[in-house]
């Protein structure tokens, strides 16, 4: 109203009037009158130091280590067999084209809009969903470009908190990627876990998982890793996914899928999308967060896609309108460069074919290192069963080593991994795998 506008403007004017000019700019008038702000406003009792990030701390310790055979198995980023980062040639070519020809024939750095670049969004959902459930053909997807997997996950949790309710339980696998927990907690959801990893078998606790899905209150939220579970590398089989889908449907649970490794897990992007497509075919209205950090090597570009399956085109439009409202005050709109690279690769038949081969080569190197690690452990004389090393999939291997053994690896052999025994297989090379196997045998025999 007019009166409300006047009141608002008056409030702004009063605040502005309370400022007085100083040499360094405006300061509150009460300060000018002699009242000074106390030194150290943000004292430790008000803002205590936060705990150090365990991965970053591990990297710091590794970087300071001068031992020539040191190995970093903590970083979740691909490395070639020389231990070096690798920019995919298909990505380089797409970037070259963008520099030479621009985007859609023009070199520009304009805002992409709240939901990002349409060509990227269209290519991303086609890459993920394929023809599953005809959701693309029927216009039943609400889609937005987001800030990689973390941005997609946080947006999903904010959506659930706003439209399902604060403190609604969200069930996550035990264990899960560490960042999932604070993302959901900060959105206001109630964190719960379901059984996933069986320490005794170093594999999937399928019976425990099904019991927890069945015992949860109807209509709860369940989060799954679409493929290459982080940190364990343990995935359900195709038959187990069918049972999980049936149970979820029976209990009317909502499903959030985090898909960070499509193509990178097995080397086959369609195979890695199996769980997603099965759930969609079975009629689940899922939320999906895609990341293109690992499979395209675009870690620092923050390229991701968020999508929701709706019951109709009208519902998809309504969902997208609310997604935009959540995004706008969060980060306004996404970065454009990485998304244009992905769109260029996925939409060009030649580059697309080249990327598939490059992505498979990354997956194959990881698989080869798993085989080499297992065979070298056996050569060392280890009597432990290391079958899980080759049965697990993706970037990470849950070794089964305990925290004490992990500490010995670091202190005695200069090998760095997280306390839970997670090995980033990208850090294993043909040059260091024998030393790694020797060390692992020494601390575990």
**Among 258, 272, 355, 374, which one carries the catalytic annotation?**
258
Return d(Cα 267, Cα 157) in angstroms, integer.
30
Q: Is residue 225 within 8 Å of residue 179, measured between CB atoms?
A: no
Active site (annotated) includes residue 212 = no
Active site (annotated) includes residue 138 = no
**Residue 192 DSSP symbol:** E
Residue 330 CB coordination number (10 Å): 13
Active site (annotated) includes residue 294 = yes
Q: How far is CA 278 from CA 32, 133, 430, in A?
A: 67, 9, 37
- Grouping H, G, I as helix, E, B as strand and the rest as coil, residue 111 is coil
Q: Crossing angle of helices 433-444/403-413, nearest 10°?
A: 130
**Among 212, 235, 272, 294, which one carries the catalytic annotation?**
294
Q: Is residue 232 within 8 Å of residue 177, measured between CB atoms?
A: no
Antiparallel, parallel or unpaired: β 304-309 and 141-146: antiparallel
Return d(Cα 304, Cα 306) in angstroms, integer.
7
**Among 70, 86, 103, 177, which one carries the catalytic annotation?**
177
DSSP string, 298-364: -GGGT-EEEEEE-SSHHHHHHHHHHHHHHHHHHTSS--SHHHHHHHHHHHSHHHHHHHHHHHHHHHH
Give residues with Cβ within 8 angstroms of 208, minimum separation 6.
194, 195, 196, 198
E strand or H helix at 2: helix 2-17
Residues annotated as catalytic are: 177, 258, 294
């Amino acid at each position: 109203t007019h009166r409300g506008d006047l009141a608002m403007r008056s409030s702004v004017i009063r605040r502005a009037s309370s400022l007085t000019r100083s040499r360094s700019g405006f300061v509150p008038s009460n300060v000018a009158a002699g009242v000074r702000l106390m030194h150290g406003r943000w004292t430790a009792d008000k803002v205590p130091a936060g705990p150090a990030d365990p991965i970053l701390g591990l990297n710091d310790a590794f970087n300071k280590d001068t031992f020539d055979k040191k190995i970093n198995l903590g970083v979740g980023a691909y490395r070639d067999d020389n231990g070096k980062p690798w920019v995919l040639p298909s990505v380089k070519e797409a970037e070259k084209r963008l520099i030479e020809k621009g985007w859609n024939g023009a070199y520009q750095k304009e805002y992409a809009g709240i939901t990002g670049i349409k060509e990227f969004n269209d290519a991303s959902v086609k890459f993920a969903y394929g023809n599953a459930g005809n959701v693309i053909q029927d216009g039943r997807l609400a889609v937005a470009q987001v800030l990689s997997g973390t941005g997609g996950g946080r947006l999903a949790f904010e959506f659930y908190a706003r439209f399902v309710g604060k403190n609604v339980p969200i069930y996550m696998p035990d264990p899960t990627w560490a960042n999932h927990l604070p993302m959901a907690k900060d959105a206001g959801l109630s964190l719960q876990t379901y059984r996933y990893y069986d320490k005794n078998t170093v594999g999937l606790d399928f019976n425990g998982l099904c019991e927890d899905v069945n015992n949860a209150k109807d209509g709860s939220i369940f989060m799954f890793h679409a493929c290459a579970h982080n940190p364990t590398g343990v995935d359900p089989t195709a038959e187990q996914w069918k049972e999980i889908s049936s149970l979820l449907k029976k209990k009317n649970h909502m499903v959030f899928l985090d898909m960070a490794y499509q193509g990178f897990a097995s080397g086959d992007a369609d195979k890695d999308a199996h769980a997603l497509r099965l759930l969609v075919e079975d009629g689940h209205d899922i939320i999906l967060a895609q990341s293109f950090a690992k499979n395209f090597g675009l870690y620092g570009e923050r390229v991701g896609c968020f999508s929701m399956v709706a019951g109709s085109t009208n519902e998809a439009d309504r969902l997208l309108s609310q997604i935009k409202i959540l995004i706008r005050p969060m980060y306004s709109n996404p970065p454009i460069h990485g998304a244009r690279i992905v769109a260029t690769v996925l939409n060009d038949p030649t580059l697309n074919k080249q990327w598939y081969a490059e992505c498979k080569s990354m997956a194959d190197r990881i698989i080869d290192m798993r085989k080499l690690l297992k065979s070298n452990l056996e050569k060392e004389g280890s009597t432990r069963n290391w079958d899980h090393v080759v049965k697990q999939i993706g970037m990470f291997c849950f070794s089964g080593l305990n925290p004490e053994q992990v500490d010995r690896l670091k202190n005695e052999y200069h090998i760095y991994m997280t306390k839970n025994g997670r090995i980033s297989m990208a850090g294993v090379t043909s040059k260091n795998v024998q030393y790694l196997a020797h060390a692992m045998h020494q601390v575990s025999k």
